[in-house]
Amino acid sequence: MSFRSWLTIGTLVLLGTVVYFGWPEISQAWRLLGSVNGWILALLIPVQLLSYYAVGNIIFSYLRSKGNIKDVSRWSMARMALELNFVNHILPSGGAAGFSYLGWLLGRHGVSGGRAAMAQIIRYTLMFVTFIGLLFVSVLALILDNNVNRITILTCVVLALLVVGGTIFVIYIIGSATRIKKFSKVLSNTADWLVSFVTFGKKHHVVKHQKVEDFFNELHVDYVEIRNDKKVLKQPLIWAIIANIADVLLLSIAFGALGSWISLATLFIAFGVSGLSGFISVTPGGTGLYEAIMIAFLASAGVPADIAIAGTLLARVALLSGTVIFGYIFYQLTILKYGKNPA
């Protein structure tokens, strides 16, 4: 098995151990769920819609600045963002499934594969970069409030290093045609090896090196244009900040519905740490791993264990229910409209 599989299994075993020894807190958390304030919980609906709308705007404001998708309405934009989330939650792919699906969908609106990929890279990059900025503000707020510990500081440092390192790596690759050529060859050879390994040698050379290189060259062209005209990132940057704030507000509302208003600074850090689980977990949407990390961090930050468990589960169930139910409906309508093979 892969490293990700072993990591997920290990985490689930750890989660089982925590459940066993923390059963009294879990029982109390279950009782807390019976006292949810429905009016406060209902605020999740407009805030989640704002989150989808903001995520869509990060992608589409960039594409519009490049002259694409002028025929796509604001409603369709939010709907695509919802479908993107749905695909990422039902398929254990670390976000790759949604990346591929949205690229396919944008292709139906005349957007090239390279530009669609660049729009999504911009989305992830700006979301991560603005999140780091908000993360530092959160840590500063906790320090001023004398409510920060070593675990929190270490977590923030690791998050910042991962995000900044990943961003630098992507820019390093697409910033040079020479590096693109070398990276494309390594990537295509690695993909061929993996396919050959999985199929026990029955399939070879399924990835065409030239197509991979052409794809990254498209990214390179867009990157050069962005570097020469940074103003095209102004609107996406603003929407990325709004999207991050909306995502954390969703957690705040869930805990508030239980009568426990946790500081946004603490929730920002918990959200960032648990959000990374989607990239390393083989379970859909990071289910199991996400909750375990969120609960563990909140408990380490001083939140009572029963509150951490109840609030995390309430937020996940409520948000995933809306995403899966409505996402599935819109996803099926899209497949019926454009074809049955979204891959």
**Residue 209 scores a pLDDT above 80:** no
Share of the chain above pLDDT 70, in %: 73
Flag whether 109 is in a domain.
yes
Residue 343 in any domain: the answer is no
Instruction: Check residues 158 and 237 and name the one with the higher pLDDT.
Output: 237
pLDDT higher at 130 or 219: 130
pLDDT of residue 149: 64
The predicted pLDDT at position 242 comes to: 92
* Total domains, the chain: 1
Instruction: Answer yes or no: is 329 within a domain.
Output: yes
22-26, 51-55, 307-311: range with highest mean pLDDT:
51-55
Residue 307 domain boundaries = 3-338
Q: Is the pLDDT of residue 306 over 80?
A: no
- As a whole number, mean pLDDT of residues 176-205 equals 75
**Taking residues 300-306, what's their average pLDDT?**
77
Mean pLDDT is highest, among 48-62, 99-113, 302-316, for: 48-62
Residue from 134, 136, 126 nearest 234 by CA: 126
Instruction: Report yes or no on 261 lying in a domain.
Output: yes
Asked whether residue 111 is domain-assigned, the answer is yes
Q: Which residue has the higher pLDDT, 246 or 281?
A: 246
pLDDT at site 343: 46
Give the model's confidence band at 27: pLDDT under 50 very low, under 70 low, under 90 confident, else very high: low
pLDDT of residue 271: 81
pLDDT of residue 7: 47
**Residue 340: pLDDT band by 50, 70, 90 thresholds?**
low
Residue at 91 is within a domain? yes
Q: Which of 31-40, 239-248, 309-318 has the lowest mean pLDDT?
A: 31-40
- State yes or no: pLDDT of 23 exceeds 70: no
Ranges 24-33, 41-50, 103-112, 185-194: which has the least confidence: 24-33
Q: Which residue has the higher pLDDT, 289 or 128?
A: 128
**Mean pLDDT score, 251-255:** 87
pLDDT value of position 13: 61
pLDDT at 85 over 70: yes
